[in-house]
């Protein structure tokens, strides 16, 4: 989950690395560090617990160099501290390593090295790598790193400097992203293109088992066994301005307000009015194959899992294919039955989520067909999958996902429509869904205009220590995602239940101090949802409804414009993103960087 950035060229390296760390801080923000090659060839290191600004305040005025690597950390092994911050060095301070991922056999390696006389300075798994590289008798830095990695089990994205091998950075990847930035007589490396796009849009993404050597005027890629690989730079779609706040106070606020444009982007060029369907060329699934699918299993984690739940409902309603969603982290550990007639769909904003990627790899090993629904072009899941679709949400920097969730659900609506029209969905229904999709951007804009009212409601409910979110069928995944948003960003305990389950246990929790947020669309379950409100009101519970019309039994109602029944969940979650945001704001939370969380979960 951590952030890596490195540079080799002619420019002063420290300002470049600090700028890169600022852009990557959403990936980890409990400590940071930097190491550069000084003018005399020595490695100079500065580390600090806390945010990147703490690191910046510690860097001495005379800290010049043209080669360096840096890191912002999300703690796994060892508590946040100056000592546990990366980079990690060997005993002689000749080798410096920054690392994303987890070394599974670190304890075993640490014990072996300690028995051989190595003294460790930190509690981290990463320090093992620095000592392994330093102890290698290989002649080149590349071979030293390769030899060390052969001893390692687990995931890693690493960058390495060595005092005896100046003028180069060696990097490697296995399960954690590493991206090379190709400049004019300068090279960059990072764990995310966000750190690179201000300087170059030409990138090379390493695959698992690949390494690279960066020099100021050249780079080469190869396997950990030493075989040369071919690397063709590609152009990053987004420019540096896409990663800026654009006048908003936080990235979360900016990204909530980008949703109308983002939804328009995911729809653009894909609608086929003639046949009342959509074009999703990247699926690599022809009509005959689509008709042979007997079941769809959607795999994701967190917000992506909730988007998959809504997606499964859309597929069942529009395509009449049995579909369900499951946490990828659970799926791969329960020895699932992999059915050749089942289509598997892997969902991930980053396309690098470790649990989802591992599930994809296991499914591929067993011969399953896997589609990817991801945001980041060229990401690991996009490369591993047989086909798929990009959600085109654009860069999402806030740890809490908003616009990517919405665009992922819209992407599932497109997939459901495509599969439905291949099968038994009528032209009339196809046109109805298309018109509903086209209305979404304007309706999102309409919802966002109600921010002042939602802000006042958030203040009124911010004193709650716990909240219950309920919904039925289409509304239940919306309730789950809204509950997660509130937890993530405000730290208020919240949980979601199907409204039909209230009397089977959760009703015991209802009292005046525990508000309920109810998702109440105008559909065939409207009266049953209203009955749930009656049950809550009879126990003196406070109710905030999200609905298409005022709810008499609710204390407050957030009104949402009506779309087609199947598409209503896309809109009903958006006001609750704003509700979570303004609740967190009222409580003084660090909205873009919630405690204990990071954006891209590339470790298990």
Q: Of 100, 1, 87, 101, give the one whose Cα is nearest residue 44.
A: 87
Shared-domain flag, residues 121 and 138: yes
In this structure, are 377 and 508 located in the same domain?
A: no
Phi-psi region of 247 (alpha: psi -120 to 50; beta: other; left: phi over 0): left
Q: What is the CATH number of the domain that holds 94?
A: 3.60.20.10
- The answer to the question of residue 260 being in a domain is yes
Q: What is the CATH number of the domain that holds 462?
A: 3.40.50.10490
Show Cβ contacts of residue 426 under 8 Å, excluding neighbours closer than 6 positions: none
Q: Is the pLDDT assigned to residue 1 strictly greater than 90?
A: no
Question: Do 70 and 219 fall into the same domain?
Answer: yes
Report the domain count for the chain.
3
Helices (H), 366-474: 380-384, 403-422, 427-448, 451-461
Whether 348 and 455 share a structural domain: no
Among 239, 270, 300, residue at a domain's last position: 239
Residues 82, 203 share a domain: yes
Is residue 468 located within the same domain as residue 409?
no
Is 434 part of a structural domain of the chain? no
In a domain, 503, yes or no: yes
H/E element holding 576?
A: helix 574-586
* 204 and 297 part of one domain: no
Share of the chain above pLDDT 70, in %: 99
> What pLDDT shows up at residue 332?
84
The per-residue pLDDT of the chain, averaged, comes to 93
Domain boundary pick from 218, 239, 260: 239
CB-CB contact of 571 with 443 (8 Å)? yes
**Integer Cα distance of 269 and 574 in angstroms:** 24
In a domain, residue 276? The reply is yes
pLDDT in tens, 396-444: 989 999 999 999 999 999 999 999 999 999 999 999 999 999 999 999 9
Report pLDDT digits (tens) over 229-263. 998 899 888 777 778 888 999 999 999 999 999 99
Catalytic position from the list 2, 301, 398, 404: 2
Evaluate whether residue 437 is within a structural domain.
Answer: no
Sheet architecture: strand order including 556-559: 493-498, 466-471, 516-520, 543-547, 556-559
**How high is the pLDDT of residue 603?**
63
Can you list the pairs that 276-280 forms with residues at least 24 positions away whose Cβ atoms lie under 8 Å? 276/421, 276/427, 276/428, 276/430, 276/431, 276/434, 277/417, 277/418, 277/421, 277/422, 277/430, 278/414, 278/417, 278/418, 278/434, 280/389, 280/414, 280/415, 280/418
Q: Which of 49, 403, 485, 599 is catalytic?
A: 599
C-alpha 333, offset from chain centre: 21
Is the pLDDT score of 73 beyond 90?
A: no
Active site residue 49: no
- End-of-domain residue from the set 393, 425, 457: 425
Report pLDDT digits (tens) over 129-158.
Answer: 999 999 999 999 999 999 999 999 998 999
Q: Are 119 and 139 in contact (CB under 8 A)?
A: no
Average pLDDT over residues 578-597: 94
Do the domain assignments include residue 8?
yes
**Could you tell me if 224 and 342 lie in one domain?**
no
pLDDT one-digit tens code per residue, 540-558: 999 999 999 999 999 999 9
Sign of CA dihedral 42, 46, 52, 57: negative
The answer on 271 and 417 residing in a single domain is: yes
Same domain? 151 vs 256: no
Residue 313, token pair as written in the block: 């409902």
Same-domain status, 304 and 448:
no
Residue range(s) defining the domain that contains residue 340: 245-425
> Has residue 145 been placed in a domain?
yes
Identify whether 599 is a catalytic site residue.
yes
pLDDT at 601 over 90: no
In a domain, 522, yes or no: yes
**What is the mean predicted confidence (pLDDT) over 508-520?**
95
List phi, psi (to 5°) of 110.
-60, -45
| Residue 527 pLDDT class (50, 70, 90 cuts) | very high
- One domain for residues 264 and 134: no
Residue 460 buriedness (CB in 10 A; 0-12 / 13-18 / 19+)? middle
Under a CB-based contact definition with an 8 Å cutoff, are residues 67 and 186 in contact?
Answer: no
Phi and psi (nearest 5°) for 520?
-130, 80
């Amino acid at each position: 989950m951590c952030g890596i950035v490195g540079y080799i060229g002619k420019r002063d390296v420290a300002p470049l690395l600090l700028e890169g760390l600022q852009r990557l801080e959403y990936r980890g923000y409990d400590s940071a560090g930097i190491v550069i090659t000084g003018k005399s060839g020595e490695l100079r290191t500065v580390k600090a617990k806390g945010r990147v600004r703490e690191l910046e305040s510690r860097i001495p005025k005379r800290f010049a160099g043209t080669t360096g690597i840096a890191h912002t950390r999300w703690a796994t092994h060892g508590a946040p501290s100056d000592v546990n911050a990366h980079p990690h060095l060997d005993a002689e301070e000749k080798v410096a390593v920054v690392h994303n991922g987890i070394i599974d056999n670190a304890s075993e390696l640490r014990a072996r090295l300690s028995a051989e006389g190595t003294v460790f300075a930190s509690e981290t798994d990463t320090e093992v790598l620095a000592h392994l590289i330093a102890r290698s008798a290989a002649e080149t830095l590349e071979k030293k790193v390769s030899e060390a990695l052969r001893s390692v089990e687990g995931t890693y994205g690493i960058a390495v400097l060595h005092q005896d091998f100046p003028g180069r950075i060696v990097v490697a990847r296995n399960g954690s992203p590493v991206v090379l930035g190709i400049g004019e007589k300068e090279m960059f490396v990072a764990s995310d293109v966000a750190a690179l796009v201000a300087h170059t849009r030409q990138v090379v993404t390493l695959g698992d088992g690949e390494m690279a050597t960066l020099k100021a005027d050249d780079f080469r890629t190869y396997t950990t066994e030493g075989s040369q690989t071919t690397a063709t730079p590609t152009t990053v779609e987004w420019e540096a301005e896409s990663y800026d706040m654009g006048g908003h106070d936080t990235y979360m606020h900016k990204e909530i307000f980008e949703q109308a444009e983002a939804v328009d982007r995911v729809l653009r060029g894909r609608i086929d009015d003639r046949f009342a369907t959509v074009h999703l060329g990247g699926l690599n699934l022809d009509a005959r194959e689509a008709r042979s699918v007997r079941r769809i299993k959607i795999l994701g984690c967190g917000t992506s899992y909730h988007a998959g739940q809504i997606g499964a409902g859309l597929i069942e309603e529009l395509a009449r294919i049995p579909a369900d969603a499951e946490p990828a982290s659970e799926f791969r550990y329960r020895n699932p039955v992999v059915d050749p007639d089942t289509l598997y769909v892997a969902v991930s904003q980053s396309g690098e989520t470790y649990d989802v990627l591992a599930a994809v790899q296991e499914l591929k090993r067993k011969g399953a067909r896997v589609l990817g629904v991801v945001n980041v072009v060229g990401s690991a899941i996009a490369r591993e999958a047989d086909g798929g679709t990009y959600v085109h949400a654009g860069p999402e920097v806030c740890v809490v996902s908003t616009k990517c969730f919405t665009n992922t659900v819209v992407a599932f609506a497109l997939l459901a429509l495509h599969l439905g029209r291949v099968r038994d969905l009528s032209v009339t229904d196809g046109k109805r869904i298309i018109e509903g999709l086209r209305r979404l951007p304007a309706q999102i804009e309409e919802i966002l205009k109600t921010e002042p009212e939602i802000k006042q409601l958030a203040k009124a409910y911010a004193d709650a220590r716990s909240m219950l979110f309920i919904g039925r069928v289409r509304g239940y995944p919306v309730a789950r995602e809204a509950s997660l948003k509130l937890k993530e960003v405000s730290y208020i305990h919240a949980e979601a239940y199907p409204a039909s389950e209230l009397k089977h246990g959760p009703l015991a929790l209802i009292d005046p101090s525990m508000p309920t947020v109810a998702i109440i669309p105008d559909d065939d379950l409207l009266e049953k949802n209203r009955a749930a409100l009656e049950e809550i009101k009879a126990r003196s519970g406070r109710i905030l409804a999200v609905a298409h019309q005022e709810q008499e039994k609710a204390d407050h109602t957030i009104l949402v414009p009506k779309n087609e029944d199947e598409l209503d969940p896309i809109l009903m979650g958006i006001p609750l993103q704003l509700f979570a945001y303004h609740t967190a704001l009222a409580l003084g939370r660090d909205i873009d960087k919630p405690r204990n969380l990071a954006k891209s979960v590339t470790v298990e």
